[in-house]
Structure 1
Amino acid sequence: MGSIDLNSLSADDLKQLMANAERTLRERHQQRVLSLRKEAEELAGLLNVSVAELFGLEKSSKLANKKLPAKYVNPADPSQTWSGRGKRPHWLADALARGESLSSFEV
């Protein structure tokens, strides 16, 4: 690259040179971002995940939608179950408050 004698340029020429340089830098940055985005999309496609999953921005839909097996069941209504994770369901919390043991609800 040839060197430019900045001292020989007028103030207007220097401003124009700076504006051109800034525009070129922005364009190169945008091209690099687009290139990296395309690479990320291709890689995510190969792995069969979303770009957000690839970068850990979102949980894998395979894991998020996976239903955990029931560990506890309501004997009064077997359709009501609890995996043991998250907040206890009302039927179990009420039974425990009455003094029943958690182990009596195990599947």
Structure 2
Amino acid sequence: MTNLSIYTIPQLKQLTARIEKEIAKRESVTKSDLLKKLTKLAKESGLSLDDVLGNATPAPAKARKVSPKGTATRKEPLPIKYRHPSNRDLAWSGRGRRPQWVEAWLAQGGAMSALEIAAQKMEKRSMKQATEAQPVVQEPPAEVAAG
């Protein structure tokens, strides 16, 4: 391996460009050699390469739904169905694998219904806090124009 610390920055950049060109050249040669080998194998079997590849094309990947602006649409998070009674940060929608905190809760003899009730209570509290937090907007009194 060559010690690269003896090269200057321009020399290193030139070396990088040469390496990238060599990599592209070798990839091209490798692809063409492989294509020749595959064509030969297909021909020996009495098929064309198009026949072989036509039957083996992978199924197209599902296209993402794209909004009109060109960004991918985001799914809304699922509503919380279960919440830890003493730690409001621990929540679960009920879909997918059970979180460790749910498993621990059940292992200690807790019931899923208790987690469900805790989630309902937290939702009611957050709704109440949201309505209380909204400021009351009063219209300013109409000023009488002096004339």
**What's the TM-score, normalizing by structure 1?**
0.48
Larger-Rg structure: 2
Return the structure number with greater helix share.
1
**What's the TM-score, normalizing by structure 2?**
0.36
Return the structure number with greater strand share.
1
Question: Higher relative contact order at CA 8 Å, sep ≥6: structure 1 or structure 2?
Answer: 1
